[in-house]
Structure 1
Amino acid sequence: MAGTASAVKTPDTGNRWLDSIMWGRQWTSGAAEGDATEVTYYIAGTNGEETITLDDGSITAFVPYAAETQAMLSAMDAMSSVANIAFTGTTSQATTDLIWGSVDNKDGQDSLGWATPPGTAYSSTYQDHQSGIAINREKYDPDSTDANFLVAGGYDYITFIHELGHALGLAHPHDKGGGSLIAPGVKGDGSSGNHGLSQGIYTMMSYVDGWQTGPVAPGADKTYGYEKGPMAFDIAALQIMYGANMSYHADDDSYA
């Protein structure tokens, strides 16, 4: 085992909306019931360009922009605020469960980013005990190295939470990745399905931006108006897999 966790099968829920975004594998660290699943992470390139070896070759992780590092950390905070997951940083690829990498367009496979779900053959070095998360920096807006473009709620930030969702065991609602179902009424990656529920308002795993960009919405921009973290379906799925974080905002909240 490379890190603290290993991959196990996720049982079906019987709810088609949730089963459409659950890959079928999740992490476990052998924690007692009610305790957090411990998942370690490593941000490659922190100390200089770094090679990440895969089964079919290798990719290069560049030194991440400060805004990218903050987005990676914010994405993990967003997940652990609703799911009972404890993320802990490590100092090498060999001792971690998740490897983050800021890559170029070639290694980003000409997409915004990609990730390997738990239990996927990522690298034969560590079998199925690591997930890789590649963020394609060349797909950003030309000015997105400005932290404003990578803050929670900004368009480019979605890639970080979406790909981390994959690395934790979430799937797209529009395909059958990992043996998942297709969400009710969804006809393709641009379809919002029955009642318009397969869109970013309800799940960060959809490719459909949703109402925030629609004609009657207040509007959205590169810096605001998009998902800040897991949405309703994502939260339900993550809590089924990992339990709920019952200590987050456990005290009374006051609003003025």
Structure 2
Amino acid sequence: MFIEIITVLSAAYRFSIITEKNTRLFPNTCRYFPALGQLTSSRRVDTFFQDVSVLLRNTRRVTGFLAAGGVLSHLNPFYQLTKVKENAAIQLSAATSTSFDQINTFAHEYDRGGNLTINGKPSYSVDQAANFILRDHAAWSDRDGNGTINLTYTFLTAKPAGFDNSLGTFSAFNAQQKAQAVLSMQSWADVAKVSFTQAASGGDGHMTFGNYSDGSSGGAAFASLPSGGRTDGQSWYLIDDSYRQNVSPDNGNYGRQTLTHEIGHTLGLSHPGDYNAGNGNPTYKDATYAEDTRGYSVMSYWSESNTDQNFVKGGAPSYSSAPLLDDIAAVQQLYGANLSTRATDTVYGFNSTAGRDFYSATSASSKVVFSVWDGGGKDTLDFSGFTQNQKINLNAASFSDVGGMVGNVSIAKGVVVENAIGGSGNDLLIGNAAANDLKGGAGNDIIYGGGGADSLTGGAGADIFVFGASSDSNRAAQDTIRDFVSGQDKIDVSAISTLSALQFVNAFSGHAGEAILNYNQSSNLGSLAIDFTGQGVGDFLVGTVGQAFAADIIV
């Protein structure tokens, strides 16, 4: 076995391991060569890169033995290191890249439906979950035919006729309960064609709110599905000496989630499984499908931890204050989508313009749990104020890990969010098919624009701009890297082709793997064009603000 330097740059060398026939490559032995630099092999062994120009500056040939710790020690003919002449033609070898692997892994982190089995349960797609939440076929009728379900509501001030005395003592909603109930109703009206008006009666249906004091049934609240009965629209909330969660509902706490959950029932949504709080002692084991958790539905009883999400921050749990991914799909199946909601340019997170408390972050300690529903415009997920490492995915029906939590932000099915801004941690950003504006912020970020003509800004730190297909950036829809810094940032095209090397040329000659780097010093604009197919044209093209060199390209 010998190690040959096949790339010569001003300050660094790249190596490849070439093994003779029937020579076994031992991953545990050959994984790290800290004294040598980044190694690559047909097995794509993870490796470590280090500048070795000092080691080889005055050495034509070095042989050595790789010790257990990866230290070059005494001579051994099995390992041979060769220095190439300084004026040799530049050729980049295929290097081990984990950046695309990280992108690809997170892009599929929350895959669902099909034949997937998770936690020993079938995985449901968004539509399958929505259908199951609507399995009781309960809904209000549009009596006046105006295309919207107009519901009226009353905060009860006295025990109503027919009150079930087993519930204990009646009490009226306090001011905070009333205000928070209005916000919960508003969150449902945002996503579907329903409206809520405070009035004693009227509309396509009527809702009432009240408290009760006897929690012996085991439930903290309950509501009736709309079925044509006298209890339609009623929702009740437990307040007693031992249970006070419903006294002070607020954004992100359990009391606010309870309001949103019960209003969901009054609209016709059931639990995602056949269980109720008063029926024995149900657990996640009773769930019908894997995604029956509070990470996917505000109608669920079960912790998001069952689907490997985590809404705990600072030692305290957070809860959704509004409908989540599957709830939005379900209520829209019933009543239609409200496309007028936030139909202009909207910012979610920091600097929020959404006008909803649950869509706003104000400091690094903010706890955000939400699913974006948006009617149009050019929209932005702004998580710039968070210091934790984040993973942000702009694709519809996807999840993001934001502000130190896991899977706490999602985008509803059918929604297009164009832009994302990372924080000061080492963030991973995934774009969608639209023309995205992705900004990593401070930290060492990995940015993948996907399709569309994207604007990519790494910000401070060593950033990697990843491309998974030549169609991610080409003449028809060219991406632009807005702040490329050579020697610090990288352009990773390793996932596009199985080519083992790029040959940098002045003009294409019809050979696959040829690449052209252009740069205009006066404008500080550059480009990288690659012919991956041997057609004599650049089927991949990305622009840069700042000059990129061959050493900055990962293949």
Shared fold by TM > 0.5?
yes
The gaps in structure 1 that reach 5 residues or longer are 1-14, 124-129, 178-187
Which of 261, 267, 278 does residue 168 from structure 1 map onto? 267
Residues 136 and 176 of structure 1: CA distance in aligned 2, closer, same or farther (over 3 Å): closer
Q: CA deviation at 1:203?
A: 0.7
Tell me, in whole angstroms, the C-alpha distance in 2 between the residues paired with 1:28 and 1:156. 29
**CA offsets 1:180-209 (integer angstroms, 9 cap, x no match):** xxxxxxxx5423858841100101111102
Per-residue deviation at 1:57?
5.8
Report the counterpart of residue 29 of structure 1 in structure 2. Answer: 142
Task: Tell me whether 1:136 sits opposite 2:238 in the alignment.
Answer: yes
Aligned sequence identity (%): 23
Closer/same/farther in 2, CA of residues 201 and 251 from structure 1, 3 Å limit: same
2:130 matches 1:18? yes
Match of 2:343 in 1: 250
Q: Which amino acid aligns with 2:263?
A: L
Alpha-carbon distance in 2 for matches of 1:222, 1:116 = 34
Report the TM-score when normalising by structure 1. Answer: 0.71
Structure 1 residue 43: Cα displacement: 0.8
Native 8 Å contact 2:290 2:307 kept in 1: no
Contact map agreement 1:40 1:90 (CA 8 A) in 2:
yes
> Secondary structure of the residue that 1:239 maps to in structure 2?
helix
1:224 is displaced (CA, Å) by 6.0
Corresponding letter in the other structure for 2:137: G
Match of 1:230 among 323, 330, 339: 323
- The amino acid of 1:191's aligned partner reads K
Contact 2:140–2:205 (CA<8 Å) still a contact in 1? no
For normalisation by structure 2, the TM-score amounts to: 0.35
The CA distance in 2 between the partners of 1:111 and 1:27, in whole Å, is: 25
Map 1:48-87; keep pairs closer than 5 Å: 50-54=158-162, 61-87=170-196
1:101 equivalent among 185, 188, 210: 210
User: 1:212 touches 1:219 (CA, 8 Å); kept in 2?
Assistant: no
Paired position in structure 2 for 1:12: none
Q: Which moved more, 1:197-206 or 1:134-143?
A: 134-143
* Distance in 2 separating the partners of 1:139 and 1:82: 36
Return the structure number with greater helix share: 1
Shift of 1:140: 7.2
Higher relative strand content: 2
Which whole-Å CA distance do the structure 2 matches of 1:157 and 1:221 have between them?
19
Cα distance in 1 for partners of 2:266, 2:184 equals 12
Specify every segment of 5 or more residues in structure 2 that has no aligned partner in the other structure, as ranges.
1-126, 277-281, 348-379, 383-555
Report the residue type matching 1:231 in the other structure. L
Give the whole-Å Cα distance in 2 for the aligned partners of 1:20 and 1:170: 9
Higher relative contact order (CA 8 A, sep 6+): 1
Q: In the alignment, which of 137, 150, 153 is matched to residue 38 of structure 1?
A: 150
**SS state of the match for residue 222, structure 2?**
strand
Q: 8 Å contact 1:44–1:61 — kept in the other structure? A: no
Please report how far the alpha carbon of residue 121 of structure 1 lies from its aligned counterpart in structure 2 after TM superposition. Answer: 3.0
Higher Cα Rg, which structure: 2
